[in-house]
Amino acid sequence: MTQSSNIMWFDPLLRAKTTELACAVQRLRDALLLHEADSGARKRARKEADKEKFGLAVEALACNLILLSAIKSSPKLAAPRSHGFLWRGDGGTSPVYGQHFLSALDGLASLGLIEEERRGYRLSARMRLPSLIRPSPALAQHLPLTPPDWRSIKQVNDSALIILKEGKDDHGRATTIAFPETAKTRQLAGQMGRINEFLGSADIEVIGQDTGLSLGRDGQVIAPYRRSLRRIFNNANWQHGGRLAGGFWMGMERTERFERIRIDGGQRIADVDYRQLFPRLAYVRADKPQPDGDIYDVVGDGSGREGWKTLMNAVLFADGPLRNWPESTLQHFPSGTKLREAIEMLTARHAPIAHLFGTRLGFQLLRTESDMLIGIITHLASLGVTALPLHDAVLVAESKAYVAADAMQAAFSMATGSSCAIVSIEFFPQ
């Protein structure tokens, strides 16, 4: 789907937290059912099981619309209508989705409780525009929208703690696929369940929300209840990927994390991360000595570092030779630089691992990285230290930064048998 800085993506995990909101949602559901019967939109009365599904869809929609009303930038809600999403499996295993979800949307629109800004449509094979809705003034008669009582909302844990996706097709899509339960999948899901249980009761807050909420880069609300994580594997292969997703902090800008996140008694956070992790793991995999200096400084004078970093990671993930510049990379190189010339320079600078370029090794390194992060946050949790994972880094309270750094050094050595990891600590910019 296309992205927009002022679109909130529908979250099927939102539910009523308070009895008052639950009762309001129940009354709204009953009003929609009555309208459905009176208007003849449905010929037969719903069975109790169908009513429950319909009520669940209404509850999730109501909670999303309340949150939408609390966001300062006045975004629109992207509500899925595509049969491919709702039934093919892209929507995951959420019981919110199905015909009852579409019926709830249609009922809200028919009663004038939501305004449909746009019906979604496909722009091309790779891109489609989502359906957009927003609450109408009349919805305030049914839900607490003036002011929006977003604190009456909670997010339930996703039942899909681990997700297996196919490889991306020619259109850049990667569909979620079903998998049989095994001892290994139960172990992986169990790890995530224990991490989510710890994070669920951890002391984590986001300051500056008294005047309204804000959206993250992922199109989801920045709110402290969004701390339930899931793990995503790629290419229909449990050895590929495994990165963590779902936390509110993952959609925040770097400076915003420092300014607004508080952990364990209101402390500011420190960002503890691995430097140049993927190429260092690649050198370990090749059983070659680590090069001196900054691995991403290919030219030797520090120029174009971000471009070389992106290009190196691209060749580690590529399946065969790169045919095009990675997105937003060419701008870091001198005008007129050819991709072939840049790859030749990269290959010469890192000849000991050049045979690994174009072998999709990056997906295996992602698995190593994510295994390390799982071990790190699990170990820190055993010490009572709250750690928010962020790809190859963790966010912890400032007082626990060096404890986290020691854990990350140990995790790297345990995973690789090497002590070449470089762990950096960044505190709040003064």
pLDDT at 340 over 80: yes
> So what's the pLDDT on residue 261?
97
> So what's the pLDDT on residue 162?
96
pLDDT at 88 over 80: no
The confidence band for 2, taking pLDDT boundaries of 50, 70 and 90, is very low
pLDDT at 170 over 70: no
> So what's the pLDDT on residue 285?
95
Phi then psi for residue 261, to 5 deg, are: -85, 135
Greatest mean pLDDT range, 92-96, 172-176, 317-321 = 317-321
> So what's the pLDDT on residue 1?
39
Q: How far from 69 is each of 20, 122, 135, CA to CA, in Å?
A: 18, 27, 8
CA 43 – CA 86 distance, rounded (Å): 23
Kindly state the average pLDDT of the residues 19-30: 97
| Other CB atoms within 10 Å distance of the CB of residue 168 | 12
User: How many CA atoms, within 13 angstroms, populate the side-chain half-sphere of residue 35?
Assistant: 17
* Burial annotation 131-154 (CB, 10 A radius, 16+ → b, else e): bbbbbeeebeebbbbeebbbebbe
Degrees (nearest 5) of the Cα angle 113, 119, 125?
155
Q: What is the pLDDT of residues 381-419, one digit of tens each?
A: 999 999 999 999 999 999 999 999 999 999 999 999 998
> So what's the pLDDT on residue 37?
87
> So what's the pLDDT on residue 44?
81
CA 12 – CA 64 distance, rounded (Å): 8
> So what's the pLDDT on residue 101?
94
| Token couple for 311 | 């290009």
- Own/partner contacts of 394-397, CB < 8 Å, gap of 24 or more, are 394/272, 394/273, 395/249, 395/257, 395/261, 395/263, 395/269, 395/270, 395/271, 395/272, 396/263, 396/269, 396/270, 396/272, 397/263, 397/264, 397/265, 397/267, 397/268, 397/269, 397/270
Contact between 316 and 357 under an 8 Å Cβ cutoff? The reply is yes
| Other CB atoms within 10 Å distance of the CB of residue 284 | 20
Q: What is the pLDDT of residues 110-167, one digit of tens each?
A: 999 999 988 876 555 555 678 899 999 999 999 999 889 999 999 988 888 999 999 8
The confidence band for 298, taking pLDDT boundaries of 50, 70 and 90, is very high
Q: What is the pLDDT of residues 239-293, one digit of tens each?
A: 999 999 999 999 999 999 999 999 999 999 999 999 999 999 999 999 999 998 8
> So what's the pLDDT on residue 111?
96
pTM reported for the whole predicted model: 0.88
> So what's the pLDDT on residue 70?
94
Q: How far from 396 is each of 241, 263, 388, 405, CA to CA, in Å?
A: 24, 7, 7, 10
Q: How far from 158 is each of 108, 201, 261, CA to CA, in Å?
A: 26, 16, 23
pLDDT at 85 over 80: no
> So what's the pLDDT on residue 128?
66
Question: Helices H, strands E: what count in the chain?
Answer: 11, 18
CA 407 – CA 393 distance, rounded (Å): 12
Instruction: Provide, for the chain, the percentages of residues in helix, strand and coil under a 3-state DSSP scheme, each rounded to the nearest 5.
Output: 40, 15, 40
Q: What is the pLDDT of residues 187-237, one digit of tens each?
A: 999 999 999 999 999 999 999 988 889 999 989 999 998 999 999 999 999
- End-to-end Cα separation, the chain, in angstroms: 38
Average per-residue pLDDT for the chain: 91
Phi then psi for residue 7, to 5 deg, are: -120, 130
Phi then psi for residue 154, to 5 deg, are: -130, 165
Phi then psi for residue 177, to 5 deg, are: -125, 150
CA nearest to 346, candidates 307, 292, 378, 396: 307
> So what's the pLDDT on residue 345?
96
Q: What share of the chain has pLDDT > 90, as a percent?
A: 78
Contact between 271 and 257 under an 8 Å Cβ cutoff? The reply is yes
> So what's the pLDDT on residue 119?
80
Q: What is the pLDDT of residues 409-424, one digit of tens each?
A: 999 999 999 989 999 9
pLDDT at 87 over 70: no
Find the range with the poorest average confidence among 80-84, 299-303, 306-310, 384-388: 80-84
CA nearest to 224, candidates 134, 167, 153, 316: 153
| Token couple for 228 | 């339930």
